[in-house]
Chains A and B, each alone.
Chain A
């Protein structure tokens, strides 16, 4: 470990890995630190990603693809199932990854590109040079180290502390943390090529329960509920256990994980003097789906691109780094987050009855012409009593 790098990346998930790889490819000296002893473990994820989203960053290597998805289904609170099939039968729409292998592979690629990588190494405080963040104090297997950097990229995940130490409020509102629990269940009867989402207050208040296949008879079965709905006797794990007992009484859990997923709006500012914030730490998880792998990789890569430009120009002030913040907000990802936040806010306020109405209506709509506004129009046509709520949603999306 050197005392000085161009870029210091904190966190070895997809955001940190893409940041480190991109910065190294641009010829910068890069140090990536991961506080855990192994990249990719423990998994904190349902592991789903869209086909095109993955393709933007890597070929679908079978080593990190657990299963290929061709369809999805939404189960309404009343048990009605709406199937969403790919336009072409048998066409892949997405994958369930094996994050332990995937994350490791991404960091491996960053290392191959020239980045230094240190595991079991955590940042304990920023180094400041006046107002500027100029690196970090690290604990490297118990030893204290100081690493200076022109730019620090904080990609330290949902439990991010680094940005907070730099004076940025990253606190997730209670109602916007998805308190989540998941089993890897084996020996269960499932459709191995379709993801299934269960909605409703009984199953997952203000969240959803998912079955994401990991093989012919195995799946990630998990649930996320709003933090405000969580409490003694009705926590994420309670909801999950109740569902599993009913649906998969003979399933065998070979892994039990928990986690928090933010579904709030992204941070007001994702840059400061000498600092860029990427991935879950920037709260750029999709607020509707809870998906964060693509958004992490996208912001990680973008952060490194902007960092490289600023380092080249010898100016890493907040103003100079601001194009990163502006670019991701203006991107398709940024616009999707803004739109899906509004949709999420709409959906969580619905009663189970209204949710049933909407899903029954959705099932009648021709989903080949899929745009959010046309979809709302179609549902309203099929179900005029939803006019009021849907009208307000449509207005918020314009």
Chain B
């Protein structure tokens, strides 16, 4: 699953633009993830601040 570190997030929307599933949405200063997320990690890679992290469930 995708973890959003809200203390790091700059709510810029960079991640939203690259999400192939359209699973991310930026609502003003609040980033949301929808169930369509496949944990592909593209968003985590491009984030300018490193606010996103894919956590693999055990």
Contact = CB atoms under 8 A, between A and B. Distances in A.
B46 interface: yes
Interface of B: 10-20, 22, 25-28, 42, 45-50
Interface in A251-279: 256-260, 262
A158 B48 contact: no
Given A174-B42, A174-B45, A230-B48, A260 B10 contact: no
Interface stretch (A16-24, A177-185, A208-216): A177-185
A69 to B, nearest CB: 25
Contact of A179 (B19, B26, B47): B47
A231 to B, nearest CB: 6
A112 interface: no
Contacts of A329: none
A180 B46 CA distance: 9
Nearest to A37: B28
Given A159-B17, A227-B18, A260-B46, 20 more contacts: A120-B28, A159-B12, A159-B13, A159-B16, A159-B25, A159-B26, A160-B16, A161-B25, A170-B17, A171-B17, A171-B20, A171-B22, A174-B45, A181-B48, A230-B48, A257-B10, A257-B12, A258-B14, A258-B48, A260-B15
B12 A260 contact: yes
A13 to B, nearest CB: 12
Contacts of B28: 35-37, 120, 122
A221 B39 CA distance: 33
Given A35-B28, A161-B25, A236-B48, A177 B12 contact: no
A387 B14 CA distance: 37
A179 B48 CA distance: 5
A227 B45 contact: yes
Contacts of A120: 28
A174 B12 CA distance: 16
B13 A227 contact: no
Contacts of A160: 16-17
A164 interface: yes
A122 B30 CA distance: 13
Given A159-B26, A164-B22, A172-B18, A230 B13 contact: no
A229 B16 CA distance: 18
29 contacts: A44-B12, A44-B13, A122-B27, A159-B12, A159-B16, A159-B25, A161-B16, A161-B22, A171-B20, A174-B46, A177-B46, A179-B48, A181-B49, A227-B18, A227-B46, A230-B45, A230-B46, A230-B47, A230-B48, A236-B48, A236-B49, A237-B48, A237-B49, A258-B48, A259-B13, A260-B12, A260-B13, A260-B17, A260-B46
Contacts of B48: 179-181, 230, 235-237, 258-260
A231 B15 CA distance: 13
Interface string A198-233: 000000000000000000000000000001101110
